[in-house]
Structure 1
Amino acid sequence: MNFQHILFSICDSGVALLCLNRPAQLNSLNEAMHLELQQALAEVIANPAIRALLLTGEGRGFCAGQDLFDGSVIGSGEPLDLGQTIERFYNPLVSALRDLPKPVVCAVNGVAAGAGANIALACDLVVAARSAYFVQAFCKIGLVPDAGGTFFLPRLIGTARAKALMLLGDKLPAEQAEQWGLIWRVVDDELLREEALMLARKLAKAPYSLALTKQALNQSATNSFNEQVALERDLQRKAGQSEDFKEGIRAFMQKREPKFNGR
């Protein structure tokens, strides 16, 4: 695949590395980048050699959100329908990351603003550079938080903090985001890519059951208790019939590390 706005490669140990690559624009998103992201994520889903995804940004920022100079936003003087942009690009993107049947690690380098912050939160494990920060910048330009932000934030940090971030638009430093439970870990800037790749490699060796675990956790937000335990039963049935479960039992009996194949 030849991309202009992203970098995409399959690293060793089954990790796909996906980098937003418009560093001069702080990796802000335009229509062309969205289309390339859709292609890359389709490859991640379809390719069995890819066992985990690492998402990050090139340059000094992770993602500054929507590129406000993009033609799909500025338009040609006609009444603007941002709902169409969300429906075509942002909702499919965050849904794909959240529902991807493979672990997704996000390495946040620098600013994660607006939709950029919420795209990071759609990933499974977020590691941030110490200098990074998150900002729900929508109120600064008279818009509503999107890209799943109004879903993710109150569930991660509570309604009071989510409201404050979204209504005030203040910056949230990475270390405070870690303390609040918004992200998994903060590391020194120069170690970010290395630490995130190490984490992705570890997840790439994990069993098929991780995809089922993601499904269970995603549905727990809206399921009743009875619905959730019934889902656990059904997913455990699938896990128990997998090759990886058989390998896990063999490895346990033989007192060795299991070698999972993701099936």
Structure 2
Amino acid sequence: MTSEDVLQVADADGVRTLTLNRPKAYNSLTVELKERLLAALRGAAADDTVRAVVLTGSGKAFCAGQDLKEHVGLLQAGDSAPLRTVAEHYNPIVRAIVDMPKPVIAAVNGTAAGAGAAFGYACDLRIAASSASFLMAFAGVGLGPDSGASWTLQRLVGYGRAAELMLLARPVDSAEALRLGLVSEVVADEELAAHVQELAAKLAAGPTAAYAEIKGVLTTAAESTLDEALAAEDAAQGRLGATADHREAVEAFVSKRTPTFTGK
């Protein structure tokens, strides 16, 4: 790993941390970074040694969204790549986050704008530094939302607030983000990395098979009838009831000891 890597990958205690690493450009998203991030997310999903994932940024920003300098340059050169990036990069990245069969935590260390904010919304948990802020910047550049923001944001804060934040392109600081439910915690900037690592390690030591099913039934319930949600819960419980983790948890409860989960 070198300082020139646009994406840094580090493993510790079952946690894989993916750090967007273009600090001078506020971790804005080039084609290279988007491709690297998508591959890394898919790799984390397939790696059984990875039991939780953290997404964060280096420097003063989490992610400023699309790199507009690259975007404009490609358009001026007659390259159609910018017009394909939603389908080729942003949609698959968000799908990889949402479908990740293990918890994904966004450690929002500064500005999260556009697609960068949407990546955070797609994560299961968002922990913000005091300096963090969120901005739905799409309208400011004459575009509509992408990267799943139209789906994720209103599920976090409701339709009316999501419409306000998108139409007005109004920044939300960390204190307001906590009030709105965009984030679950706000911590001091210097404490963010250690706090998120501790939380992620705790999740990594937990029943990850159950976490995967929890994510699945929540997604199903968000777009289904009550009967469909009940059926999904029933099916998930049937699968989880046959896991070693469930047997271990029950036996540990009866024996009054701490369970040891394997994710199986």
Identify if the C-alpha distance between structure 1 residues 237 and 8 changes in structure 2 by more than 3 Å, giving closer, same or farther. Answer: same
For 2:36, the equivalent position in structure 1 comes to 36
In structure 1, what residue type is equivalent to 2:52?
A: A
In structure 2, what residue type is equivalent to 1:197?
A: Q
In the alignment, structure 1 residue 232 sits paired with structure 2 residue 233: yes
Report deviation, 1:72.
8.1
For 2:202, the equivalent position in structure 1 comes to 202
For 2:164, the equivalent position in structure 1 comes to 164
For 2:100, the equivalent position in structure 1 comes to 100
CA contact (8 A) 1:31 1:72 kept: no
In the TM superposition, what whole-angstrom CA distance separates every residue of 1:34-91 from its partner, at most 9, and x where no partner exists? 1111221122112111100011000000000000122587334438575521000000
In structure 1, what residue type is equivalent to 2:210?
A: S
- Could you tell me how far apart the structure 2 residues matched to 1:112 and 1:26 are? 9
Report deviation, 1:221.
1.0
* More off after superposition, 237-246 vs 73-82: 73-82
In structure 2, what residue type is equivalent to 1:22?
A: R
In the TM superposition, what whole-angstrom CA distance separates every residue of 1:115-137 from its partner, at most 9, and x where no partner exists? 10010011000000111100001
For 2:182, the equivalent position in structure 1 comes to 182
Show structure 1 runs of 4+ deviating over 6 A: none
In the TM superposition, what whole-angstrom CA distance separates every residue of 1:4-31 from its partner, at most 9, and x where no partner exists? 21000111x2010110000000000111
- Could you tell me how far apart the structure 1 residues matched to 2:184 and 2:252 are? 30
CA contact (8 A) 2:7 2:21 kept: yes
Q: What's the RMSD between the two structures over aligned residues?
A: 1.6
Identify if the C-alpha distance between structure 1 residues 72 and 200 changes in structure 2 by more than 3 Å, giving closer, same or farther. Answer: farther
CA contact (8 A) 2:128 2:174 kept: yes
Report deviation, 1:238.
0.4
Q: What are the ranges of 5 or more consecutive residues in structure 1 without an aligned counterpart?
A: none
- Could you tell me how far apart the structure 2 residues matched to 1:83 and 1:161 are? 28
SS in 2 for 1:147: coil
For 1:89, the equivalent position in structure 2 comes to 89
SS in 2 for 1:223: coil
In structure 2, what residue type is equivalent to 1:194?
A: A
For 1:7, the equivalent position in structure 2 comes to 8
TM-score between the two structures when normalised by the length of structure 1: 0.95
CA contact (8 A) 2:74 2:81 kept: no
- Could you tell me how far apart the structure 1 residues matched to 2:73 and 2:93 are? 17
- Could you tell me how far apart the structure 2 residues matched to 1:4 and 1:88 are? 22
Identify if the C-alpha distance between structure 1 residues 216 and 74 changes in structure 2 by more than 3 Å, giving closer, same or farther. Answer: same
- Could you tell me how far apart the structure 1 residues matched to 2:248 and 2:72 are? 50
- Could you tell me how far apart the structure 1 residues matched to 2:129 and 2:71 are? 32
* More off after superposition, 155-164 vs 88-97: 155-164
SS in 2 for 1:75: helix
Q: What are the ranges of 5 or more consecutive residues in structure 2 without an aligned counterpart?
A: none
In structure 1, what residue type is equivalent to 2:184?
A: W
